């Protein structure tokens, strides 16, 4: 058992994320007080105690009969590093991302590049301070260098717009997003669309009055193509009108589920200037699709991709998930090869994350929750195949509860990297987000900080308290 007491509360959250990396190796007990710590700390256990010591932090770590104390600086990274080293020594497993538990590791590289550090020094710091594995350092630095021409110099008048359509035809078993089942909540869709369009006009007006402009639009969800062709026409016509006079560099619709995509809807998108769409198979294995609650077949994906290619969009992205229940390395290779035959310009490789609110959290077996190198091998095999087709990493992020503590990586051919995705991850540009559950990010690049402004998550709250949403938009 790992018994922990953290005196200085400000470290509790980040350290609890770090402890999760070792959860498979040890039961973890967090003691609220020092007395509780000593009551629980037994002969078989490993103990870890953090106490304030003037300007410094005293860390005591070790087995019951052999603990050692040291004083370290109270700086966040230093504390995490020392705790990680103690746990690694006790429980052996290495995390590919070392002490990094945050969502956006590439930001660290951008910050070091901004400070004028040389790449050799950056790599050294990533290895020694953060304990990141060499292949992940390669990925981080490759992504940062590919992103920089798209993100710098920061154009602080440019704003991206995100519109959320929080409806899906069925619920995927791994999903923890508060999406609404079309069969149950579809009756609200027309009303929702009216409100979303009103929020769109209102927000773009605010953006103009602030002397800024929109140059990038992303319609995501949920599944935006749960809208009928007529509803899609209404929304995109409103976007055309609201955004008139702006030069839009990228316009994405995350079509997502092939069972909702029709040639009529694609024609509407094409007519209104959508130039990037996502068709998301997740896997080309029919048994897995069935198990995760996606009501489409691999052949549906192929049919939709033929339609998409015939109508012609600049960029088509396809999302895959590595580590889906029951899948092997061979399945991952098969899926990657099969989607490469469909010639997407972009592919996003996700690692399965089993979130608490997802149905899969109740269904997955213990083996399916463990990576044990399996998912890393899948990501590596898919990476090799994609690179062989000239599709290379351009953005990445991490989530909690990912198998093997791995990552999600967006790949694209040259000229097809998504501006929205890079801006979203690196938090140097303002994103104004509309719709239920949408979260705007107002960035202050000179101060290297941003503020989040969240809309209500629930559909009913969004509809019934819409005036409050517009009030918040005024503050933005
Ligand atoms: S399509 Fe996406 S948002 Fe909808 S249920 Fe599946 S994972 Fe969730």
Q: Which residues line ligand 1 (CB under 6 A)?
A: 168, 171-172, 175, 177, 179, 221-223, 256-257
Confidence of residue 372 (pLDDT cuts 50, 70, 90): confident
Please indicate, yes or no, whether residues 70 and 111 belong to a single structural domain of this protein. Answer: no
Give residue 363's pLDDT. Answer: 86
Mean pLDDT to the nearest integer, 420-433: 94
Mean pLDDT of 181-201: 95
> β-pairing, 213-221 with 180-181?
unpaired
Calculate the CA 440 to chain-centre distance: 15
Cα of 170 from ligand 1 centre, angstroms: 8
Residue 443 lies in a domain: yes
Domain co-membership, 33 together with 143? no
Q: From atom 7 of ligand 1, which residue's Cα is the shortest distance away?
A: 175
Contact yes or no for 140/415 (Cβ under 8 A): no
Q: Answer yes or no: is pLDDT of 93 > 70.
A: no
Which residue minimizes the CA distance to atom 6 of ligand 1? 172
Q: Is 236 exposed, middle or buried (0-12, 13-18, 19+ CB in 10 A)?
A: buried
Task: Tally the C-alpha atoms within 13 A of residue 230's C-alpha that lie toward its C-beta.
Answer: 2
Phi, psi for 286 (deg, rounded to 5):
-60, -35
Say which CATH number the domain at 291 has: 3.80.30.20
| Nearest Cα residue to atom 2 of ligand 1 | 222
Determine contact, residues 47/34, Cβ cutoff 8 Å: no
Decide which of 147, 178, 212 is a domain's last residue: 147
Q: What is the mean pLDDT of residues 176-199?
A: 93
Whether residue 98 is contained in a domain is answered as no
Indicate the burial class of 453 (C-beta count within 10 angstroms; 0-12, 13-18, 19 or more).
Answer: middle
List, for residues 316-340, the tens digit of each pLDDT value. Answer: 999 999 999 999 999 999 999 999 9
Q: Which residues lie below 8 Å from residue 411, measured CB to CB, with a gap of 6+?
A: 346, 347, 348, 349, 383, 386, 391, 392, 393, 394
- CA-CA distances (angstroms) from residue 98 to 85, 127, 192, 381? 9, 9, 43, 22
- Is the pLDDT score of 466 beyond 90? yes
Do residues 391 and 249 share a domain?
Answer: yes
Whether residues 160 and 202 fall in one domain: yes
Cβ neighbours of 157 (radius 10 Å): 12
For 403-408, what is the mean pLDDT?
Answer: 92
Closest ligand 1 atom to the C-alpha of 170? Answer: 5
Kindly state whether residue 99 falls inside one of the protein's structural domains.
no
**Is residue 101 assigned to a domain?**
no
Considering the chain, what is the average pLDDT of its residues?
93
What would the two tokens of residue 69 be?
A: 């104390």
Lowest mean pLDDT among 62-66, 196-200, 207-211, 392-396: 62-66
User: Do both 140 and 228 map to the same domain?
Assistant: no
Q: For residue 102, what pLDDT band results from cuts at 50, 70 and 90? A: confident
Nearest 5 degrees, angle CA 354-CA 358-CA 361? 55
pLDDT in the model for residue 476: 77
Looking at the chain, the whole-number percentage of residues with pLDDT higher than 70 is: 99
Is 96 part of a structural domain of the chain? no
Contacts 24+ apart (CB under 8 A), 227-234: 227/165, 227/189, 227/193, 227/265, 228/265, 229/262, 229/264, 229/265, 229/267, 229/268, 231/189, 231/190, 231/193, 232/265, 232/268, 232/269, 233/268, 233/272, 234/193, 234/197
| 286 lies in some domain | yes
Q: Are residues 361 and 449 in the same domain?
A: yes
CA–CA distance, 310 with 387 (Å, rounded to integer): 25
The answer, yes or no, to whether residue 74 has pLDDT greater than 90, is no
Looking at the fold, whether 284 and 433 belong to one and the same domain comes out as: yes
The residue whose CB lies within 8 Å of the most ligand 1 atoms, and thus the one to mutate among 172, 173, 358, is 172
By residue range, what is the domain housing residue 142? Answer: 106-147
Same domain, 161 and 55: no
Q: Judge if 110 and 83 occupy the same domain.
A: no
Query: Tokens 């195949």 — which residue?
Result: 385
The last residue of a domain, from among 91, 118, 138: 91
- The total domain count for the chain is 3
Q: Which atom of ligand 1 is nearest to the CA of 280?
A: 1
Q: Is 476 within the bounds of a domain? A: no
d(CA 320, CA 385): 13
Rounded Cα distance between 153 and 109, Å, is: 16
Please return the burial class of 449, using the count of CB atoms within 10 Å of its CB with bins 0-12, 13-18 and 19+. Answer: exposed
- Confidence tier at 362 by pLDDT (50, 70, 90): confident
Q: Which residue has the higher pLDDT, 189 or 401?
A: 189
Decide if 172 contacts 292 (C-beta within 8 A).
yes
Q: Are residues 133 and 166 in the same domain?
A: no
What is the 223 CA–ligand 1 centroid distance (Å)? 7
Residue with tokens 């009103």: 198
CB-CB neighbours of 462 under 10 Å: 24
Q: What is the pLDDT of residue 423?
A: 95
Q: Taking residues 417-436, what's their average pLDDT?
A: 95
Q: Write out pLDDT tens, residues 17-36.
A: 888 877 767 788 999 999 99
Inside any domain, residue 36: yes
User: Which DSSP state fits 455?
Assistant: P
- Ligand 1 centre from 178 Cα, in Å? 9
| Together in a domain, 196 and 85 | no
Which pLDDT score, from 0 to 100, does residue 369 have? Answer: 82
Of 175, 178, 226, 319, the one to substitute when testing ligand 1's pocket (max ligand atoms within 8 A of C-beta) is: 175
- Tell me, in angstroms, the distance from the centre of ligand 1 to residue 224's CA: 11
Q: Which residue has the higher pLDDT, 371 or 238?
A: 238
175 in the same domain as 51: no
- The answer on pLDDT for 245 being more than 80 is yes
How far is ligand 1, taken at its centre, from the CA of residue 97, in Å?
Answer: 27
Mean pLDDT of 250-274: 96
Using the predicted structure, report yes or no on whether residue 196 has a pLDDT greater than 70: yes
Q: Which one has a higher pLDDT value, 361 or 216?
A: 216
What pLDDT score does 458 carry?
92
Is pLDDT larger for residue 123 or for residue 8? 123
What percent of the chain has a predicted confidence (pLDDT) above 90?
A: 73
Predicted confidence (pLDDT) at residue 42 exceeds the cutoff of 80:
yes
pLDDT at 205: 96
């Amino acid at each position: 058992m790992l018994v922990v007491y953290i005196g200085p509360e400000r470290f509790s959250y980040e350290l609890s994320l770090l402890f999760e990396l070792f959860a498979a190796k040890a039961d973890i007990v967090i003691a609220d007080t020092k007395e509780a710590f000593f009551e629980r700390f037994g002969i078989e256990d490993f103990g870890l105690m953090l106490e304030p010591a003037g300007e410094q932090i005293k860390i005591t770590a070790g087995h019951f009969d052999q603990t050692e104390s040291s004083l370290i600086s109270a700086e966040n990274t230093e504390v995490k590093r020392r705790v990680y080293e103690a746990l690694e020594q006790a429980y052996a497993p290495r995390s590919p991302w070392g002490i990094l538990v945050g969502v956006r590791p590439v930001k660290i590289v951008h910050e070091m590049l901004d400070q004028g550090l040389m790449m050799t020094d950056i790599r050294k710091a990533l290895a020694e301070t953060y304990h990141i594995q060499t292949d992940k350092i390669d990925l981080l630095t490759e992504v940062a260098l590919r992103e920089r021409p798209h993100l710098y110099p920061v154009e602080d008048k440019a704003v991206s717009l995100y519109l959320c359509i929080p409806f899906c035809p069925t619920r995927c078993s791994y999903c923890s997003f508060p999406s609404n089942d079309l069969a149950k909540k579809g009756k609200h869709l027309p009303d929702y669309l009216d409100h979303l369009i009103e929020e769109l006009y209102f927000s773009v007006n605010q953006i103009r009055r602030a002397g800024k402009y929109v140059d990038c639009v992303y319609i995501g969800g949920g599944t935006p193509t749960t809208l009928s062709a007529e509803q899609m026409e209404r929304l995109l016509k409103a976007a055309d009108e609201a955004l008139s006079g702006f030069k839009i560099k990228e316009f994405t619709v995350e079509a997502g589920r092939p069972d909702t995509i029709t040639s009529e809807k694609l024609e509407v998108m094409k007519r209104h200037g959508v130039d990037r769409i996502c068709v998301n198979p997740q896997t080309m294995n029919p048994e897995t699709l069935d198990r995760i609650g996606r009501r489409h077949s691999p052949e549906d994906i192929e049919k939709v991709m033929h339609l998409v290619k015939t109508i012609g969009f600049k960029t088509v992205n396809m999302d895959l998930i590595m580590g889906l229940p029951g899948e092997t390395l061979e399945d991952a290779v098969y899926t990657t090869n099969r989607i490469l035959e469909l010639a997407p310009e972009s592919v996003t490789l996700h690692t399965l994350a089993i979130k608490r609110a997802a149905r899969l959290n109740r269904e997955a077996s213990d083996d399916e929750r463990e990576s044990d190198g399996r998912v890393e091998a899948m990501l590596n095999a898919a990476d090799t195949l994609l690179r062989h087709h000239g599709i290379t990493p351009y953005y990445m992020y991490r989530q909690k509860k990912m198998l093997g503590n791995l990552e999600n990586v967006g790949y694209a051919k040259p000229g097809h990297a998504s501006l929205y995705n890079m801006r979203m991850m690196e938090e140097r540009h303002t994103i104004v987000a509309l719709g239920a559950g949408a979260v705007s990010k107002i960035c202050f690049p000179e101060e290297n900080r941003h503020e989040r402004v969240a809309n209500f998550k629930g559909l009913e709250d969004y509809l019934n308290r819409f005036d409050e949403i517009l009030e918040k938009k005024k503050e933005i």
